[in-house]
Structure 1
């Protein structure tokens, strides 16, 4: 059984074009001077430079864009045993750090995920009400701010975010799924803790299921899973779009079908770029 303390957790925040730390006050719901958490911020920008006068709030300014690049940079420069991924539109609950530390002292796991509330204090999803081990299916809906991990375990496994996935990348979605699926393939232990640690707006960038941006990424995921079954997932996804009224005509349905196929083909061929240019987002 571990004996982690609150000072053993580092919060890794991805943000863009920041010139001051005032956004942390909204995230932590307290004045900047009162925030005691260990924080590492990656500010991606070619226009602004973010600085911090606090030793426990460190900043990395990077001119290279892409959410997964930001995550990897933060993971490489983190110094605490435990890490927690956050976005700059989250609200950290008062007891969150205590909950994370308690969970790692109770469970000897490499990665632990938690629950998210909407800003209206409703559960973001229908979560389980007890601890469980994650599998390939249960990791699909996990949000970034629900992910915490043992940094040493991640480094030993050589685990990184795939920079082809995530906002600002070629496949602009599904970076969390790819990261956690890779962790499962490397035999890391991933558990779910039924404690709420963060609030997040009720919608995410993944909710626009009919956008070419999301469909292209889902195609890439299908190709990544298995070249043989990619066509099955392609038909399944476009049928989902049709059944739920996300597309209104056969012409539009065919377009979505081909966007999915482009995603699968581009992933499997290693093509880099934005061939479809995400015309309808």
Structure 2
């Protein structure tokens, strides 16, 4: 089983990221920087490719690597992760335990835990997929290619709408009836050594973008998604529930009007 890491990176000036991230399998580094070039080389038995492009947008970056991937199993990664020494074995074993899996979500270690910790193996569906981000996801490449699933390039860092490309990707997997599992193994540690180049935190724009994201995820249920998000997270947004809900719905309505 061939495994390949697909890294969304920025401003890399050399090849030190491979060692820094403890990448021990094949990898494609999508490096958004100030120049255009493609580099391919080997480190022992590892085949490494750097895609250096003078462009911006995390969805575009992930798509660039995904289009060129050629492994059985691919991992999406950010450049502030350090993989476990045996991550390849962990991932391969997980797919062997779940031969019907198209996508598997793993745990990430954090200095301060902010992400959902998976405690037991379970299926991922419409009721729980929103809690998982791309950097903990492994895909069976043939399954994704068969259904033409890619990242929405209008959402995520460096785009008009600041986040949500990972939610839209998993949503597309579910809509195409792909099987997604969550397993409790840890594959990497988030160093969180750099601040986001795009995010200003949970500001007013973030809340509005939530409403637009929910519209894109489901034209039928988007108001309910706004409602549950405002109830759960309004304190993180530093506003009351009604204010958060109102901002999301107003942004969603405006977005739908512009889409007609």
- Verify same fold: TM over 0.5: yes
CA–CA distance in structure 1, aligned partners of residues 122 and 233 of structure 2 = 31
Residue 264 (structure 1) shift: 4.9
| TM alignment of 1:1-281, pairs within 5 A | 4=1, 8-28=2-22, 36-47=24-35, 51=39, 53-54=41-42, 56-108=47-99, 109-118=101-110, 120=111, 124-201=114-191, 210-227=202-219, 229-234=221-226, 237-238=229-230, 246-247=238-239, 253=243, 257-258=246-247, 261-266=250-255, 269-270=258-259
Query: Residue 100 and residue 124 in structure 1: after superposition, are their counterparts in 2 closer, same or farther (change >3 A)?
Result: farther
Query: Residue 243 and residue 96 in structure 1: after superposition, are their counterparts in 2 closer, same or farther (change >3 A)?
Result: closer
Query: Residue 36 and residue 224 in structure 1: after superposition, are their counterparts in 2 closer, same or farther (change >3 A)?
Result: closer
- Aligned partners of 2:223 and 2:249 also within 8 Å: no
Q: Which has the larger radius of gyration?
A: 1
Counterpart secondary structure, 1:140: helix
- Aligned partners of 1:166 and 1:173 also within 8 Å: yes
Structure richer in strand, relative to its length: 2
Unaligned runs of 5+ in 2: none
- Aligned partners of 1:223 and 1:230 also within 8 Å: yes
Tell me the C-alpha RMSD between the 2 structures.
3.1
CA–CA distance in structure 2, aligned partners of residues 135 and 37 of structure 1 = 29
- Aligned partners of 1:18 and 1:50 also within 8 Å: no
**TM-score of the two chains, using structure 1 as the length reference:** 0.78
Query: Residue 244 and residue 107 in structure 1: after superposition, are their counterparts in 2 closer, same or farther (change >3 A)?
Result: closer
Cα distance per residue 1:191-236 (max 9 Å; x no partner): 1111000111469969976313421321112212444544454455
Residue 270 (structure 1) shift: 3.2
CA–CA distance in structure 2, aligned partners of residues 245 and 37 of structure 1 = 39
CA–CA distance in structure 2, aligned partners of residues 268 and 105 of structure 1 = 46
Residue 72 (structure 1) shift: 0.9
Query: Residue 226 and residue 97 in structure 1: after superposition, are their counterparts in 2 closer, same or farther (change >3 A)?
Result: closer
